[in-house]
Amino acid sequence: AQRVTQPEKLLSVFKGAPVELKCNYSYSGSPELFWYVQYSRQRLQLLLRHISRESIKGFTADLNKGETSFHLKKPFAQEEDSAMYYCALLSGAGSYQLTFGKGTKLSVIP
Amino acid sequence: DTEVTQTPKHLVMGMTNKKSLKCEQHMGHRAMYWYKQKAKKPPELMFVYSYEKLSINESVPSRFSPECPNSSLLNLHLHALQPEDSALYLCASSQKEGTSYEQYFGPGTRLTVT
User: What would the mean pLDDT of A59-75 be, rounded to a whole number?
Assistant: 93
Alpha-carbon gap, residue A75 to A35, rounded angstroms: 17
Give the distance from residue A77's alpha carbon to the nearest chain B alpha carbon, in angstroms.
22
Q: Which residues of A touch B31 (CB under 8 A)?
A: 96
* Model pLDDT, residue A103: 97
Given this model, what pLDDT does residue A107 score?
Answer: 98
For residue A42, give how far its alpha carbon lies from the nearest alpha carbon of chain B (Å). 7
| Cα distances (Å, whole numbers) of residue B52 to A51, A67, B47 | 28, 39, 12
Res A92: pLDDT: 62
pLDDT confidence band for A94 (50 / 70 / 90): low
Residue B95: closest C-alpha in chain A: A94
B43: nearest CB among A44, A51, A105: A44
Q: In angstroms, what CA-CA distances link A58 with A29, A48, A73, A86?
A: 29, 11, 8, 17
Instruction: State residue B1's pLDDT score.
Output: 63
Full pLDDT tens readout for chain B, 114 residues:
678 999 999 999 998 889 999 999 999 998 999 999 999 899 999 999 989 999 888 889 999 999 999 999 999 999 999 999 999 999 999 986 666 678 899 999 999 999
Inter-chain touch B42–A100, beta carbons under 8 Å: yes
Which residues are CB-contacts of A65 (< 8 A; sequence separation ≥ 6)?
none
Of the candidates B31, B55, B108, the beta carbon closest to that of A43 is on B108
Name the 3-class secondary structure at A80.
Answer: helix
